[in-house]
Each structure stands twice: as C-alpha cells, then as structure tokens.
Structure 1
Amino acid sequence: MSATPAPAPARRLMPSDLAARKGGDPIVCLTAYTTPVARIADRHCDLVLVGDSVGMVLHGLPSTLGVSVEMMVMHGAAVNRGLDRALMVVDMPFGSYEAGPEQAFAAAARIMRETGAGAVKLEGGVAMAPTIAFLVARGIPVMAHVGLTPQAVNTLGGYRVQGRGADADRVRADARAVAEAGAFAVVLEKVSEPLAAALTAELAIPTIGIGASAACDGQVLVIDDMLGMFTDFRPRFVRRYAELGAAAEEAVAAYAADVRARRFPAAEHVFAETGGAR
C-alpha cells in the first residue's frame, strides 16, 4: 500500500513555515536533482534539497568537492520546475562561500535568482556563523549543516561519527552558533544519537537528522540511496525503501536479450506502410 500524499497547500512552503514546525509534525525531506523526481517528492515531502551529493550520484565524482555553482544552478532550476508545494533548498558547493560573507552572498544570490530556491544550505558551525548572519540580514534564508560536513571530510579524517565523548562540545558549539546566527533549521549529519536528541531539545530551530536521531524535528536522505539507485556504498544510516537499481538492471538485461533475439521491436511497435496510428 502506498503512503498517502501530503495535502497540497495554497502556496509553496517557506522557511518560516518549517521553522514554525519546531517540536511539531516531523519535517520530511529528500534530495532531488531532476524535474521528474521533484514531481514525485513534491507530493510527499515538505522540503526538497538539491544537494551537492548530485556530484557523486549523478556525475560519478568521488566526493562532493568537485561540484560547481553552475552544476547546482542547472539541477536547481530543473527541480524547481517540478515543485508546487515543497520548499526547495539548494546546497552551496565547496569553494563558493568559505572565503567570506561577500563571496557567499554573491554565490547565494546567483543560486536563488537562477533557480527559484527558497533558501540555501551551507556547511560549518562556529566558523560560518558570521557568514550565515550576513546572508540572513540580506534576505537569504539559510539552512545550516553541522556534525559530519562532507565538504570538510579531508580535515575531519573521513566519514566518521561526530560528537562522541569530548567531541560533543565542538558539535554543540557549532549547532548553537548557527542557530544564534539566524539559520532557520540545521542538518545534523552522522551525529551520535544521544547528542542529536539533546541538541533537538536545546535548539530553538528545527533539527533535520541524517544518521542522527529519530527525536530530530525532521529527517533527510539522499533519494538515490533510499531507492537503491546509488550502490557504490551504503551508509549505515540509509534505509532502502526500494531496490530500483536492481530492477533497472533486470529491465536492461531483458531489453538487450530481446533485441539480440529479434523479439523487439514486435509487430505492435512498428508501422505499416499505410493506415494505422502514427
């Protein structure tokens, strides 16, 4: 049995709508990179994230570090065409905001102008708080991202769990800093479950978990992970809700076999010299 689609509101959801959901109904979020997938996600999700994960799952890059602003703009514009109700947030890619608030504003303004995004997302805590405050003061809503920040994976020592033991103080300081800077929500990625639950209780803004805690105010997954389309690796925090990659492999194999055996195209797939459908 399929899930009941979320009711469509009279307008597109805004960052303030999701901020108001703190402590209420969980916020449902998935990534999307194309118009057809956006249309599906829009019927069920509150927030659709055009993530820089696009570099790995669609472009075959080894990490998110090679993603450009141009790539995010292209995919963001495509996703926006498929949305009627969900808030669209677009990731700011590596190198587009770290140099300072002015650089971040230029990149964020371009992304919002050329995609129709309702907000941007950037990674980093205490160090990025001044940039977040700068953007918010100039009319750009920001979703923050702390804990495991994939763009900084080389300095974090890999894709390790964050916030264990003494490291909890660092993650807590990051989360508090972005909330105080004006972020309307914060992604907690691969943060130890007790810390993620505690931060959700402490922060005044919604927390969106990915490998964090069911106590978070919402959850996000990369759609290619949860559908079984991206199979290069599978993080522990991913639950597969389908195995579309395996189904696609079977379909392509069946097509190839039919072509080689001349079973396709069959009579119903070709056209007579006269009459019949065009």
Structure 2
Amino acid sequence: MSVQTAVKRVTAPDIRARKNGEPIVMLTSYHAHTASLVDRYCDVILVGDSLGNVMHGFETTVPVTLDMMILQGHAVMRGSKHALVVVDMPFGSYEASKEQAFHSAARILKETHCGAVKLEGGKRMAETIAFLTQRGIPVMGHIGLTPQSINTLGSFRAQGRSEAAWAPIEEDAKAVAEAGAFAMVVEAVAEPLAKKITASIDVPTIGIGASSACDGQVLVLEDMLGLSPWTPKFVKRYGDLGPAIQEAIESYAKDVRSRAFPGPEHVYGMIKPKVVASND
C-alpha cells in the first residue's frame, strides 16, 4: 500500500525568511477552483478585499464585510494545499481599536484556517499590528496606496512620485516592520522609493505597481488574466480570457437557439430491459 506524503503548507515564518532570497510569487484568489490552479505555482494566495470589485461589482473595496472575506477565505483554503493563504481584513473590521482587530482576525483564522491576515496602514496601525502578532496572529502589512482609504485619498493615484512625499511612506514601512509584520505589500509607489524601502527594512516587500526591486510581486488574478474591464498601468496581462469566454458563451447561446445543443451525445437514452432466458 502506497503512503502519500502530506503537503506542507508555506507559513508566515517561511515567507519572512525569503527576505533578499528567491522572489515571492503571490496572486489573489476568491474561489476553490481558481485556488487549486494558483496553488501549483504561488508561494502566497491572497484572498483580497478586491473581491468587492471582482465578484460583486463594487466601485471600491469599502463595502466588503468580514463575513464575505471569511466565506471566500474558507473556499480558497479548501481549494489549496501548499501556498500560505492570507485573508484581507476589510474596512471597518480593525480600525476602531486593537481589541476589535484581534476579535476580527481571530475569527478569520478560526473560521477559515488560513495562515495570516493582511491589513492596511502604516504608523497609525503599528500598535494594532504589534498587538496581533504578540497574540499569535501573523500579519502582513500594506503601505503606499491603500485602497480602503479611497474616500480620503480621493483617487487611486500612485504615491511617492516626488522625493518630498517619501518620508511619511518610509516611516510607514519602518513602523510596520518594527511592529512585527512578517511581510508587507507596497502598492503603487515610485520605483526609487520602493527600492529604498526594500533595502531599508528586514522583512520582505511584495510589490504591486512598485517595480521588480521588491522581494516579491502580487497581482489580482482577474487583472492578469484579462478578465477585468479596466487594466491598471502596473498590470501585465498574461492572458486575454475575457474575449474567449464571451465567444464561448455566444456559441452556446447560438446552439441552444438553433437546437444544435444538446446533441445525441449529450442526452440519456432508455435502458433496454434485460431478456430473461426461459427454462422451458
């Protein structure tokens, strides 16, 4: 009898140890079936609150709820076996107090069985990050452009494009690292700033619109597959599945209306009764 070796999941300490090592590969997923595909190639799967845009058609991530994140996090855990699964903490689930953050994060870990949570914010969230990590919750930070703050930012614009704007972002990165985050997403910041931050802190940076200077990269799966209606500047489209899916649906609709589908090979026939031999 053959004995199958259990697949060991990547952990937060494993990712932390990748600083200045092999680049970390990270993609988003919100479903069990896409998670099983992503899992084969990625070190980290992010169950991002971008599901608000991708799955629900929201204009921002602000309406996303904790229950939504837990539901999709559970699905991704069922579909994956190897990658570290990180679940975003949605807007309103952690900002009020560090105690609120702990209860929300603990619920995510307990109900999804994921390996870490991610939250947005730099210096203002450092105390919360420290509170969580000291209580056994691995935290991935997120600095630079923070989409949950869109109502105060006003637009999804790149950060740090003048040196005069660098200091606060550098302070955010340092505060998040010192608070105990095992890694941090650096979103939509100028390349020289991303390079400086990556060199100045001792935890991995995972870039999204922050250049190859970072210790790893993350993209929204639907963006890189060409399924999103709008593609940000920092996204490379590795596929163009949108038109292919539309073409398939068009062909299906045409076949149904013309009664070409289902064909004989797609339907069930009657079972022929068995002939019982006579004893006469």
TM-score class, shorter-chain normalisation, is over 0.9
Classify 1:274/1:249 alpha carbon distance in 2 versus 1 (closer, same or farther; 3 Å).
same
* 8 Å contact from structure 1 (residues 124, 144) kept in 2: yes
Q: Which moved more, 1:102-111 or 1:265-274?
A: 265-274
Q: For the aligned residues, what is the CA RMSD?
A: 1.3
Deviation at 1:157, TM superposition (A): 2.4
Deviation at 1:167, TM superposition (A): 1.1
Q: 2:149 aligns with which of 132, 152, 159?
A: 152
Q: Which has the larger radius of gyration?
A: 2
Q: Calculate the TM-score normalised by the size of structure 1.
A: 0.94
* 8 Å contact from structure 2 (residues 7, 81) kept in 1: no
Partners of 2:249 and 2:143 in 1: how far apart?
40
The question of 1:255 aligning with 2:263 is answered no
Q: 2:123 aligns with which of 123, 126, 140?
A: 126
Classify 1:265/1:156 alpha carbon distance in 2 versus 1 (closer, same or farther; 3 Å).
same
Deviation at 1:243, TM superposition (A): 1.0
Deviation at 1:245, TM superposition (A): 1.3
Q: 1:108 aligns with which of 94, 99, 105?
A: 105
Q: Indicate the residue corresponding to 1:191 in structure 2.
A: 189
Classify 1:105/1:70 alpha carbon distance in 2 versus 1 (closer, same or farther; 3 Å).
same
* 8 Å contact from structure 1 (residues 9, 85) kept in 2: no
Give structure 1 regions of 4+ aligned residues with deviation exceeding 3 angstroms.
Answer: none
Q: Indicate the residue corresponding to 1:12 in structure 2.
A: 9
Partners of 2:53 and 2:219 in 1: how far apart?
14
Unmatched 5+ stretches in structure 1: 1-7
* 8 Å contact from structure 1 (residues 122, 145) kept in 2: yes
Q: Calculate the TM-score normalised by the size of structure 2.
A: 0.94
Q: 2:71 aligns with which of 70, 74, 86?
A: 74
* 8 Å contact from structure 1 (residues 67, 94) kept in 2: yes
Unmatched 5+ stretches in structure 2: 274-280
* 8 Å contact from structure 1 (residues 163, 170) kept in 2: no
Partners of 2:243 and 2:141 in 1: how far apart?
34
Partners of 1:226 and 1:275 in 2: how far apart?
51
Give the aligned residue type for 2:264: A
Q: Indicate the residue corresponding to 1:210 in structure 2.
A: 208
Q: Which moved more, 1:257-266 or 1:107-116?
A: 257-266
Give the aligned residue type for 2:217: Q
Q: Indicate the residue corresponding to 2:270 in structure 1.
A: 273
Q: 1:25 aligns with which of 22, 33, 36?
A: 22
Deviation at 1:275, TM superposition (A): 4.5
Partners of 1:26 and 1:38 in 2: how far apart?
20
Q: Which moved more, 1:267-276 or 1:108-117?
A: 267-276
Partners of 1:10 and 1:150 in 2: how far apart?
34
The question of 1:99 aligning with 2:96 is answered yes
Q: Indicate the residue corresponding to 2:239 in structure 1.
A: 242
State the percentage of identical aligned residues: 58
Give the aligned residue type for 2:267: V
The question of 1:64 aligning with 2:58 is answered no
Deviation at 1:60, TM superposition (A): 1.1
